[in-house]
């Protein structure tokens, strides 16, 4: 029984050997000649030389160039507001009035008190001048031996008293004058005037409201130029400078670009987030940008006029190393080339070294290894719709 099994195995083995000999002799097919892996369909793009720029986009909020709130320094009932939300306000224009009857009366009382003090001063001046003349007359008579020492002492005492009264009257005039000015200042507080031109941003009260000191009435904003506040990360902190040009866009006007400049960069980074505050000033002549809008700030970090660039989809990262797969259209074999990258954008990548020859694979490279066969989309190996190479290598 065992011999039959061994004979059967030997016959099968011999038949297999005869079949392999037939394949080698009559078909010419070799095991080593067969492809070990199938070709991968890929898309390619050309290596070109041209300009590239690196742009960072930050998000922020639009703020007015200045903003202030009009509020009274005194209490009283508001009797009139001439402006509403969105109205233009000129510098020095009166916006609101507070009932000033009490303050008018205080001014009139202060004026009357000043007149009384001035009259007392005039009387004291006359008495002082008479006392001075009497003192000089007695001193002259005493030198001639006509007046007695007692008369001289009485004249000197009267002169001193009138002098003190005169100085007191002068002080009272100054005091009454100061009281009048204080009353006039309090009266001026009943009119709220704009210190800077701008638009009324908010209106907090209406006519008839009883206000306490420092109660807000309206807010005024200046938006002929606006400030966009944003934050920059630590990686870009040293690459942005004051005065650098930026482009600002907002959702309200998606087709408009607003030009601005970096005006301020904070001298410190926040420890918790590792970001620094940055302010961008934008001229807003058409007043399209409004405070509170969400803004995007695009800052050009770096740019080159002519350098070796490829499509961003061609760049691969394997084990922390950047590289590209290059293919010669005549060979249709992919070769992996490690590269050193420079400026990286969402669509293009700058290749600093080495110089690349042929086409780069932009789709399908995740299935490739060094020496993998590829199927190109067209006979010439050019990706349909890809841009032609611009110029020769500099």
pLDDT of residue 286: 92
Fold of 220-304: Elongation Factor Tu (Ef-tu); domain 3 (2.40.30)
* Helix, strand or coil, per DSSP, at residue 205: coil
pLDDT of residue 4: 65
pLDDT of residue 205: 93
Q: Which CATH class is domain 40-52+305-375?
A: mainly beta
pLDDT of residue 63: 97
- Find out whether 393 and 359 touch, Cβ atoms under 8 Å: no
CA 178 to chain centre: 47
Which residues in 265-298 are b (16+ Cβ under 10 Å) and which e? eeeebeeeeebbbbbbbbebeeeebbbebebebe
Q: Return the DSSP state at 25.
A: I
pLDDT of residue 219: 96
* Helix, strand or coil, per DSSP, at residue 318: strand
User: Whose CA is closest to 359, among 343, 346, 345, 378?
Assistant: 378
Which residues in 230-256 are b (16+ Cβ under 10 Å) and which e? bbbeeeeeeebeeebebbbbbeeeeee
* Mean pLDDT in consecutive groups of 10 residues from the start of the chain, 394 residues: 64 68 56 60 90 91 95 93 94 94 93 92 89 82 76 83 90 93 93 94 93 94 96 91 94 94 94 94 94 95 90 89 90 90 89 90 87 75 40 38
Strands 374-375 and 40-41: parallel
pLDDT of residue 154: 82
Q: How far apart are CA 367 and CA 179, in angstroms?
A: 93
């Amino acid at each position: 029984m065992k011999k039959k099994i061994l004979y059967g195995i030997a016959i099968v083995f011999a038949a297999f050997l005869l079949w392999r000999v037939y394949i080698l002799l009559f078909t010419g097919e070799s095991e080593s000649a067969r492809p070990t892996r199938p070709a991968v369909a890929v898309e390619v793009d050309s290596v070109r030389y041209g300009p590239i720029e690196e742009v960072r986009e930050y998000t922020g909020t639009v703020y007015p160039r200045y903003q202030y709130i009009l509020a009274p320094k005194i209490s009283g009932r508001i009797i009139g507001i001439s402006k509403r939300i969105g109205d233009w306000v000129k510098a020095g224009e009166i916006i609101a009035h507070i009932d000033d009857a009490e303050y008018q009366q205080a001014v009139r009382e202060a004026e009357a008190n000043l007149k009384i003090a001035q009259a007392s001063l005039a009387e004291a001046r006359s008495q002082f001048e008479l006392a001075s003349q009497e003192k000089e007359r007695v001193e002259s008579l005493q030198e001639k031996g006509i007046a007695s020492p007692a008369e001289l002492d009485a004249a000197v005492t009267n002169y001193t008293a009138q002098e003190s009264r005169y100085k007191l009257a002068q002080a009272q005039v100054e005091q009454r004058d100061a009281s009048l000015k204080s009353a006039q200042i309090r009266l001026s507080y009943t009119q709220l005037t704009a210190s800077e031109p701008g638009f009324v941003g908010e209106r907090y009260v209406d006519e008839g409201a009883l206000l306490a000191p420092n109660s807000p009435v309206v807010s005024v904003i200046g938006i002929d130029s606006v400030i966009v506040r944003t934050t920059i990360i630590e990686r870009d902190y040293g690459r942005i400078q004051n005065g650098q040009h930026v482009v600002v866009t907002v959702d309200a006007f998606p087709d408009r670009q607003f030009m601005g400049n970096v005006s301020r960069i904070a001298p410190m980074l926040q420890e918790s987030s590792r970001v620094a505050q940055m302010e961008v000033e934008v001229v807003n002549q058409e007043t399209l940008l409004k405070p509170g809008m969400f803004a995007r700030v695009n800052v050009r970090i770096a740019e080159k006029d002519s350098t070796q660039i490829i499509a961003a989809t061609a760049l691969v990262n394997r084990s922390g190393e950047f590289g590209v797969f290059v293919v010669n259209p005549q060979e249709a074999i992919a070769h992996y080339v490690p590269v050193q990258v420079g400026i990286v954008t969402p669509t293009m990548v700058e290749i600093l070294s080495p110089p690349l020859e042929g086409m780069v694979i932009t789709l399908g490279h995740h299935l490739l290894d060094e020496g993998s066969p590829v199927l190109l989309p067209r006979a010439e190996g050019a990706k349909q719709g890809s841009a032609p190479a611009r110029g020769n290598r500099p």
